[in-house]
Structure 1
Amino acid sequence: MPYTDEFDWVLTNRAENGEITAASLGPNRAYVVRDLYRRGHTITRISTLLSTGLHQVKADLAKQGVKAPARRSRTRNRTTRAAAAAAALTVITMLASGCQYLDQVAAGQTGPAAEEVDVAAAQRQLDQLEVRPEDTGYHYDRDDWPHWSYLGDGCDVRDQVLQQQGHDVQVGPDCTITGRWTSPYDVVTVTDPGELDIDHIVALSEVADSGVRGWSEADRERYANDSRHLVAVTATSNRQKSDQDPAEWLPSNTAYRCEYAARWVAAKYEYRLAVDLSERQALTGLLRRCGR
């Protein structure tokens, strides 16, 4: 049966639930790969869902005119250094202005209250992190960081995070998940898990720049699947964040910024990752205001 608008969602939903493989899709495979990618699934995730190789997924995306993310070279695919410096200045200025966290909560201008943060503990951890320039000479390729490991019963790490962070979550056969999720980055509530990204609080490419030259593939896989440092967020907010650090980007939900800073520090502390100077300054400013 040809791939049409009338039933494209059926095939894509079945693929998203792990019910069909690339081999069974035949000529419709490239269309399904494209739609899974549009729903926010990574190339690695699509490869797992369809039981096919990464190169095949990339080839199918190319057939549909979708340009897959390029391998990282020496220079990170971030804003330019000048733009990054301007962004850092904006964040620091914002922190020093009257845009205060507690005032906004009181005025009802923020989202739901975040977890209570142990600011002193976060600051102690931050004080112990090495401060040094980013290791931009280290080659980063997302495919070198195996993620969404299979956990059994049809579930992988992505599914685990959805279960942990959702409300009224129900898990059906083959780990089909329903429920309700509120993205802490932007306070958007969704009921379709396909609309969510599972974000690494400290992005994989940021980790790659933070002193991991000695890591093995097992080390990279361990970090990439550590659910303590993952968060379910809207695809839009995750794209806005990209791989920027807190000197360049903060959640629009100001009520979450203290928890975000503490979780960022906790991930870097546990995995013995370095911070650069602007990153440390932004985190210090955040934690200082959170402690008031």
Structure 2
Amino acid sequence: MRLISALCAAALVLAGCVPVEDAANPTGTPPDAGDSVTQLGQLTVAKSGSMRGYSRERFPHWRDTGRNCDVRDSVLKRDGKNIKLSGCNVVAGRWVSAYDERTFTEPSGVDIDHMVPLANAWRSGADKWNDERRGDFANDLTRPQLRAVSASSNRAKGDQDPSQWKPANRDFWCEYAVDWIAVKHFWRLRVTTAEKAALSDMLDTCPAVRE
């Protein structure tokens, strides 16, 4: 992964390569709130684009991750505790949904949320990508783009941005904003004026920003 990122940084002009400033951090560790304020200021602000041509099939997921396992299984294993497997498939465990603090022991009650929803990404610039790059976005295990949450909170969120929907768990607002900004910054996606204002308000809940 480090070699690929380095090659992409060296050839930034090629479509789909990692931006130079992000190539130095291939682990995808979310930035602190101070970094997020800077990154938010660097995002392009524009009106939301059209949904013309959109479908979830334009963002192929979930990708195979080996041994009859896919990206969904990988996120369930990463985000859960006391995981039980049948082969490579996750069949039980314990998950706490950061969005609403609900706890689950059956994977059927858990959805894998795209932090920046696919439809939002489409309206924010992903409509100009090819399907391979959209697949990279939809299966991104490196950035904070995928999270195991309650099915009900994921479906309530839908394709809404932070100006339209926020997690019921206000203690998670800081991390939610940090993660949303990190994803949009890496993938060079736009934000609307209302979205940017909401993200700024959510960053104000971060201890480092309040201080």
Q: Does 1:249 align with 2:165?
A: yes
Q: Structure 1 residues 117 and 174 mapped into 2: Cα distance closer, same or farther (>3 Å)?
A: closer
Equivalent position to 1:267, from 183, 195, 202:
183
Secondary structure of residue in 2 paired with 1:251: coil
| Residue deviations 1:13-46 (CA, integer Å, cap 9, x gap) | xxxxxxxxxxxxxxxxxxxxxxxxxxxxxxxxxx
**Structure 1 residues 158, 137: closer, same or farther in 2, change over 3 A?**
closer
Contact 2:77 2:90 in 1 (8 A): no
Judging changes above 3 Å, is the alpha-carbon distance between structure 1 residues 137 and 253 closer, same or farther for their aligned structure 2 residues? closer
* SS class of match (1:261): helix
2:72 corresponding residue in structure 1: 158
Ranges in structure 1 where 5+ consecutive residues have no aligned partner: 1-114
Choose between structure 1 and 2: higher strand proportion. 2
- Closer, same or farther: CA 126–116 of 1 in aligned 2, 3 Å: closer
* 1:199 and 1:233 in contact (8 A); partners too: yes
- The match for 1:45 is none
1:134 alignment counterpart = 48
Name the count of aligned residue pairs.
178
Deviations 1:150-189 (A, max 9, x none): 1111110000000000011233324243210001100000
User: What corresponds to 1:182 in structure 2?
Assistant: 96
Shift of 1:137: 5.2
In structure 2, the CA distance between the partners of 1:137 and 1:181, relative to structure 1 (3 Å rule), is closer
1:138-287 alignment runs, 5 A limit: 138-227=52-141, 228=143, 229-287=145-203
Q: Is the 8 A contact 1:155 1:174 kept in 2?
A: yes
TM-score, with length taken from structure 1: 0.58
Q: Decide which moves more: 201-210 or 134-143.
A: 134-143
Would the aligned equivalents of 1:117 and 1:262 in 2 still touch at CA under 8 Å? Answer: yes
1:149 Cα deviation from its structure 2 partner: 0.5
Q: Deviations over 1:228-259 (max 9, x none)?
A: 31111111111111111000110001111100
The higher radius of gyration belongs to 1
Indicate the structure whose relative CO is greater, using CA pairs within 8 Å and at least 6 residues apart. Answer: 2
RMSD of aligned Cα (Å)? 1.7
What is the CA–CA distance in structure 2 between the aligned matches of 1:273 and 1:117, rounded to whole Å? 17
Q: In 2, distance between residues paired with 1:132 and 1:270?
A: 17
Contact (CA 8 Å) 2:91, 2:106: kept in 1 or not? no
In 2, the alpha carbon distance for the partners of 1:154 and 1:237 equals: 28
TM-score, length-scaled by structure 2? 0.80
**1:177 alignment partner, SS class:** strand
Check conservation: 2:97, 2:148, Cα contact below 8 A: yes
More helix by percentage: 1
Structure 1 stretches of 4+ with a deviation exceeding 3 A read none
Q: Partner amino acid for 1:251?
A: P
SS at the partner of 2:135?
helix
SS of the equivalent of 1:289 reads coil
